[in-house]
Chains A and B, each alone.
Chain A
Amino acid sequence: MGLREYVIRRLLLLIPIMFGVVILIFAILQLVPVGERVSIYLTGPKDIKPEVIQGYIRMYGLDQPVWVQFYQWLRQVLQGNFGYSEYFQEQVLTGLLARAPATIEIVIYAAPIIVLVGIWLGVNAAAQRDKPLDHASRILSILGTSMPSFFFGVVLSAIFIAQLKWVSSGRLSYQMEGLVPNMINIGKWHQYTGLLTIDSLLNGRIDYFIDALEHLILPVTVLVFIQTATLVRVTRSSMLEALSKTYIIAATAKGLSRKEVIYKHARRNALIPVVTISGLVIGGMMTGLVITETIFRFPGIGNWAAIAAQHFDMPIVVAYAMFSAVVFVLANLIVDVLYAYIDPRIRLG
């Protein structure tokens, strides 16, 4: 089986899973009483009137059998209508798109650090087994998996935000944050990407760049600390396994230096299983974002979903769950394809 056939087969397998995801979400929605469930069909504040709501109940068949409701709901979702959030007073899709850049900004800083630190520490800990670095990495990874991200984050925010006042919570300092809409109005600030650290540079505002970067330090630290732990553990044990293989003995016997054996022979093979775990790290990151953004009041989609859940704002909660399932499944698909690409045994076997 070639790589292309493998990818196509994996894509086809996605269809039943996504269908299952949609059914599960719909089943969860069935728990909510009809009067509240109707909000996932509303399109704006003008709709919040008894007669309009009654109209929607009739229009989408909420008084009809389940399969009719499911069909109507699925049609709405496929058209991109995830409903109207009463709490945030906005369309769910609009809200999601407006907050996505903040989250993406955390991710693009956190992800490379997680991967680089995790792999470096894991490889070197295994190479220096039972030496100080190995012990340090074990303590760090055990602490990282045992320390709840919310506790770590609350302590950091109490010390650095509230006590020392190094940074404020949110994406920018209050004064700077307030000025951005004005600058957009008078045309001095163009929103190229929505990512503040990039937009500020494109607009030539170094002060904003530094401020945005400072506000990213704490959330990124929490994400990195918690997520790196898993990666270090997997890399270390995978590396230990690779180091015990006979080709390592053969390479050493040939007279290669220890460095060459570790980085050229062992690491390459050890990283193959590490690729598969990165899918899990992405899932963990989405969970971590909900908590991290909530602590630092970072206005991304994780914080948005958490606030919505606290106020039982089902349209957002449901849309966020579906969104994260799609991201998670796609990420795992990419990981699997990468895996098959690096290791031909997967697609040929």
Chain B
Amino acid sequence: MSSKGKLENFKKRMQPTIKETKFVLKRIRDSPLSIAGIMIVLYNLIIALFAPVLAPPKLYDAYLIPRDPSLGYTYIPNPPSLGHLFGTTSLQVDLYYGCIWGTRFAFKLGVEVIAVTLLIGLVLGMLAGYYGGLIGELIMRFTDVILAFPGLILAMAFVAALSRVPGWTTINAVMLSIILIGWPGYTRLVRGEVLRVKTEDYVEAAKASGASDARVMLRHILPNSIYSVIIVASLDFGGIVLTAAALSFLGLGSPPGYADWGRLIYDAIPFAATGTQYWWTYTFPGIFIVLFVLGWNLLGDALRDVLDPLYRRK
């Protein structure tokens, strides 16, 4: 077959995909809330990417917020000024720096947690869905056990225990605990997808022509079941960052002076107890969290409306 023929063939094969993509894009364009969601997510992404430009790091670890020695080492926060756009919190920790690098920290945490959770979910879900039997049963019962706990409470217990183990930083403990409560959801989702794809004719055909289990799983089942899983994973960003922030707020997350929104709000609790006079100490980190989670939630709603076959054509 000539290269032109190949190209034509490829175009023809991709026709449904192109049509689908166009339809999805049109639906997203038509809904103002989805546009808002995308804009907010992009805005957060830009802040995270350009954090070193927006707030140049001064310490050996860029996620540690610099203090301002010229204001003295007092606990009393200073209001927003030209030098400190969002003001300072206790010990003159700069809130602008904290909020900007907090965005980057949220993305870093989200990407790392989702990558590991997704990997665990894919491997265990495929094993459970493809082989079933005893392995599948064991894996699924294990997910039942984890899901028997309210997520944050299990994470809380796990962080408290893990922080006592030498060599573990609290941030790593938080990430591992969110992975621990997150993988069962993905495993169930992947398993469901694998069970659906497994009965398709092309899988039967591949098996009949002598393909190994590994080949059937990686070449035929994985590519056909991964899309919905990836979409769910990407929308988990908001929830993961919220859980991490909640743990930080309970005093179980990042160490003091770390660019983490939850930690900044935790540090602001004593100031909130004095009334609204130090409003900036909790308001700015709070607005950053709300915007971050709001962006992902709006995007998630939009994608669900578009991709869910039950609602999409109405």
Contacts and interface: CB of A to CB of B under 8 A. Distances in A.
Contact of A291 (B141, B250, B294): B250
A241 B250 contact: no
Interface in A308-349: 308-310, 312, 314, 317-318, 320-321, 324-325, 328-329
A142 interface: yes
Interface string A124-164: 00000000000000100011011111110011011101110
Contact of B145 (A20, A155, A294): A20
A216 interface: no
Interface string B135-179: 000000110111011111110111111111100000000000000
B145 A17 contact: yes
B160 A317 contact: yes
A24 interface: yes
Nearest to B278: A158
A64 interface: no
Nearest to A283: B150
A142 B294 contact: yes
Q: Do most interface residues of chain A lie in helix, strand or loop, or is the interface mixed?
A: helix
A32 interface: yes
Contacts of B160: 308-309, 312, 314, 317
A151 B282 contact: yes
Interface string A67-101: 00000000000000000000000000000000000
A21 interface: yes
A138 B149 CA distance: 29
Nearest to A237: B311
A33 B148 contact: no
A310 B251 contact: yes
A31 B293 contact: no
Contacts of A123: none
B164 A32 contact: yes
Given A148-B245, A157-B273, A163-B275, A290 B148 contact: no
A150 B249 contact: yes
Contact of A154 (B141, B265, B301): B265
A147 to B, nearest CB: 6
Interface in B290-314: 290, 293-294, 297-298, 301, 310-311, 314
Contacts, number: 160
B159 A309 contact: yes
B289 interface: yes
Interface in B40-64: none
A327 B262 CA distance: 28
A145 B148 contact: no
A62 B135 CA distance: 32
B128 interface: no
Interface string A288-315: 0011001100000000011011101010
A183 interface: no
A159 B282 CA distance: 12
Interface string B243-284: 001100111100000000010010011001111100100110
Contacts of B282: 151, 154-155, 158
A290 B250 contact: yes
Given A17-B141, A325-B154, 9 more contacts: A16-B141, A20-B144, A31-B161, A33-B164, A138-B33, A162-B273, A163-B276, A310-B252, A314-B161
24 contacts: A17-B145, A21-B148, A28-B157, A33-B164, A142-B298, A142-B301, A146-B293, A148-B245, A150-B262, A151-B265, A151-B286, A151-B290, A154-B282, A157-B273, A159-B276, A283-B150, A287-B246, A290-B250, A294-B250, A295-B269, A306-B156, A306-B251, A310-B252, A324-B150
